[in-house]
Structure 1
Amino acid sequence: MKKHEIAILTDSKKQLPFLESFFRDRNKYRPSYFSDPALLLDHARVTPPAAMILGMKNISDIARAAGQIPSVALISGDIRRNIREARNCKANCYLYPPYLDIDLEHKIEAIIREKMMHEKMEARKKELEAVIDLTQLISDTLDSKELLYRIVRKIAEIIPVTRCSIIKIDSHNRTAIVVASYENQIFRDIKISLRKYPEILEALTTKEDVIIRDVATDPLMSKVRKLIAPLGIRSILVVPIFRSSKVIGTLFLRTSRSQGTFSEPEIRLLHSMANASANSLFNSFLFEQVEDEKTRLEKLSITDYLTGIYNVRYFYHRIIQEFSRAQRYSSSLSCLMLDIDFFKKVNDVHGHKTGDMVLKEFATVLRRHCRKSDVLARYGGEEFIILLPETAPEGAFSEAERIRKHISSHKFKSLKNKNELTVSIGIATSPHPKIKAHDDLIASADSALFTAKNSGRNRVAIYT
């Protein structure tokens, strides 16, 4: 099983023993300890770890510079101030004393899972963009030879291959013609003997992909192994070119490489490209398919993976827009910051799995009772945030009170005996003398939330 590398940077005498003890019995992780921020960054540039655990001393230097590597901040000292610092430094989550194994385990798993999902989304997005690029590339020519060459050239640009060709088969006399080859545009209309290409014959017979992962061991290649050996080819992939589930005549895409085998994403991408080339003059359906998938991916990129509501990245995008609009038209813009009261107790008593279910249910209740014009997002952990366009303080307070009452009366199915939960809410509204930018509006709502917490929880406070 592949071990996830966790890069660790802290010089705290309290944190190090906890981390060493935590990783000692967990074989799925490979901890790498660093004492110098520069060394960690150098290491991350060459071999990015799956995640980082950072002490507060160096978090501002590392978290931003490390880019897409998710991080857990180990909070120490002034907990409230350092939590804010961790958020400002874009740490994905944080852990504060007393440090618990189960809590750290849950957070590491969550950020690695989110990172992997993001990487898959990005890979799929790149695949779709490649198909769009290819479709656009081949849509502006009626020259079939130029069209076919553009296809193989584009494939070779995206996927590292030794050879890439499109083969036309004459089904009557069982001969084949290379109609396009990326190695050289003039290499075309070259006849080849199908007896030397059993993988093409197999694809012609089955009308399915033929994947030769290792030429040296695949039984299909036994009769031609000696012929192929001098070429240094290890892996071969043959993809029939279809249109509307029918094989188009006898066109086949054949690629090969000398190092490694073809991955599933590469095979999927070649499939997409084969389909795009077959539909070069009839590609409207493909465009619709690609655009739908692109829309779905764009929606995923702005959605919180756990709760299904907007994520904080999208919220920042919207609040910048709405704040600018409110200033331009001199209208009110309110922001509600919500925090589930004593949520840590839910995790401690019922476990983090139940805690996640509670967060999902909590988000569902919020979504049900928000207005259509409101922008609801998960801000982080058990904190949520709502943007209320065209809403003055009185209206925001009324909305917040309505939400608070719905939450306090809701029976959470995720909890035993359907225990009730409460929520504290902070409100800030622009225009306000102290609110000059969208960040001020969020910070002011957070300050009001702090007031609500300190005043006994399960209440609404307005920033004044």
Structure 2
Amino acid sequence: MPPQGEELQHLDMELGNQDLKEIIEVGSQITAQLDMENIIKNVVLSLFAKFQTPTVTFLVPHDLDESRPVIYHFQGMKSQELVLDLPSITSLLGFLERDEYNQITFAYFSENFPDPQVVARLAELQPDIIVPLRTDKGVNGLILLPAKAGSGPFTLLDVQYITQIVRFASIAIENANLYWQATTDRMTKLFSHHFFEKNLEEEILRARRYGACFSLLMLDIDHFKKFNDAYGHLQGDLIIKEIAHILRSSVRSIDFTARYGGEEFAVILPEVNAQGAAVVAERIRQSIERHEFAGEEGRLHVTVSIGVAEFKVDRMRTASQFIAEADKALYQSKELGRNRVTVQK
């Protein structure tokens, strides 16, 4: 829980009114976010403004299914690409969970962490302290901070300030993870069917209220059952994952891409009419057709059929009706020989 009540009064005495005010303001900004990158940027802004540390580095788990870390590295307020040869963050989080320290010095970490290779990798960042992102459920990441620029090591009051900011960040990151789990398909990392339906309802309301146009693509992998029968379900899962990756890279950041179910996908295209949506769909179709899917016995050739529909306020009353229109176009693509795009009239 973030500091409150008597704990805030105690902090007030130690840190001072201005520091306490900053902590509450930053905490409010951080906990209002559900996007991981925005949470981290708010924390970095606060720490850099307060301490002018040369760098700030976050390590958090990639997701529930992968232990490799995602690294957010900032030099000043500028995000920098950083490659650390750390195949797993699990041992780091386990080490930090074994005690209740709100921070440890890197010297202590170096002496006590059992894997010298991990110590050497982290030492490249020249950290002074390591701050765990701790919640009631455990540690969900860590922050590496080098010494303050030109003003000596962190003081006890500095550490208290950092600890309280990080407590807010830990809660916000936990909430972001819960939101991700509730809205994301675990296999493909696309949005889930349930969240797709919610988003589609919102787009329909917006179209009715403001007259905005938008379109829907329904996409199905051709002859997918044959791939599963011939190559096994693991190969089928790999194809689904690769197609999800192609979809993400083929649309805009404002577009909404979901796994509709099984081998079927859906894409909502805001502010795009049927003609524009057909162009997007054809680009996706060609990208998948040209893509070389890896298989145990060589490259596999995969195609998709796509149905396109534009939302019509005057004749589509519900989301189900709209989906049915896009589905009709999809089935027309199948009936006409597959590997094609059909626009519902």
TM-score bracket, normalised by the shorter chain, equals 0.5 to 0.7
Instruction: Report which stretch shifted further, 387-396 or 279-288.
Output: 279-288
Whether 1:244 and 2:103 are equivalent positions in the alignment is yes
Tell me, in whole angstroms, the C-alpha distance in 2 between the residues paired with 1:309 and 1:282. 34
Q: Is the 8 A contact 1:339 1:424 kept in 2?
A: yes
Rg larger for: 1
Task: Report Cα offsets for 1:6-33 as digits up to 9, x if no partner.
Answer: xxxxxxxxxxxxxxxxxxxxxxxxxxxx
What is the aligned partner in structure 2 of residue 402 from structure 1?
Answer: 283
Calculate the TM-score normalised by the size of structure 2. 0.55
Change (3 A) 1:429 1:347: same
Matches within 5 A, 1:410-449: 410-414=291-295, 416-431=297-312, 433-449=314-330
Tell me, in whole angstroms, the C-alpha distance in 2 between the residues paired with 1:446 and 1:369. 21
Tell me, in whole angstroms, the C-alpha distance in 2 between the residues paired with 1:270 and 1:345. 44
Tell me, in whole angstroms, the C-alpha distance in 2 between the residues paired with 1:380 and 1:454. 21
Tell me, in whole angstroms, the C-alpha distance in 1 between the residues paired with 2:288 and 2:274. 21
SS of residue matched to 1:283: helix
Change (3 A) 1:137 1:350: farther
Matches within 5 A, 1:260-409: 269=136, 283-409=164-290
Tell me, in whole angstroms, the C-alpha distance in 2 between the residues paired with 1:406 and 1:415. 22
C-alpha deviation, 1:136, in angstroms: 4.2
Matches within 5 A, 1:198-209: none
Structure with the bigger RCO (C-alpha within 8 Å, sep 6+) is 2
Gaps of 5+ in 2: 12-97, 106-134, 140-158
C-alpha deviation, 1:433, in angstroms: 3.9
Change (3 A) 1:280 1:368: closer
Tell me, in whole angstroms, the C-alpha distance in 2 between the residues paired with 1:347 and 1:435. 36
Tell me, in whole angstroms, the C-alpha distance in 2 between the residues paired with 1:287 and 1:244. 15
Instruction: Report which stretch shifted further, 333-342 or 361-370.
Output: 361-370
C-alpha deviation, 1:375, in angstroms: 0.7
Tell me, in whole angstroms, the C-alpha distance in 1 between the residues paired with 2:137 and 2:284. 50
Change (3 A) 1:139 1:405: same
Matches within 5 A, 1:21-420: 131-132=1-2, 135-136=3-4, 139=7, 142=10, 242-245=101-104, 269=136, 283-414=164-295, 416-420=297-301
C-alpha deviation, 1:438, in angstroms: 2.4
Structure 1 residue identity aligned to 2:171: V
C-alpha deviation, 1:348, in angstroms: 0.4
Tell me, in whole angstroms, the C-alpha distance in 1 between the residues paired with 2:185 and 2:325. 24
Identity %: 36
SS of residue matched to 1:386: strand
Q: Is the 8 A contact 1:376 1:385 kept in 2?
A: yes
Tell me the matched-pair count: 213
What is the aligned partner in structure 1 of residue 342 from structure 2?
Answer: 461
Gaps of 5+ in 1: 1-130, 144-238, 247-267, 273-277
Structural RMSD (CA): 3.0
Structure 2 residue identity aligned to 1:429: E
Q: Is the 8 A contact 1:358 1:415 kept in 2?
A: no
Task: Report Cα offsets for 1:81-111 as digits up to 9, x if no partner.
Answer: xxxxxxxxxxxxxxxxxxxxxxxxxxxxxxx
SS of residue matched to 2:310: strand
Q: Is the 8 A contact 2:208 2:313 kept in 1?
A: no
Structure 1 residue identity aligned to 2:317: K
Change (3 A) 1:136 1:335: farther
Structure 2 residue identity aligned to 1:308: K
SS of residue matched to 1:376: strand
What is the aligned partner in structure 1 of residue 128 from structure 2?
Answer: none
Calculate the TM-score normalised by the size of structure 1. 0.42
Task: Report Cα offsets for 1:355-390 as digits up to 9, x if no partner.
Answer: 111111111111111222211110010000000111
Tell me, in whole angstroms, the C-alpha distance in 2 between the residues paired with 1:439 and 1:403. 24
Q: Is the 8 A contact 1:425 1:448 kept in 2?
A: yes
Q: Is the 8 A contact 1:138 1:280 kept in 2?
A: no
Task: Report Cα offsets for 1:23-44 as digits up to 9, x if no partner.
Answer: xxxxxxxxxxxxxxxxxxxxxx
Structure 1 residue identity aligned to 2:312: P
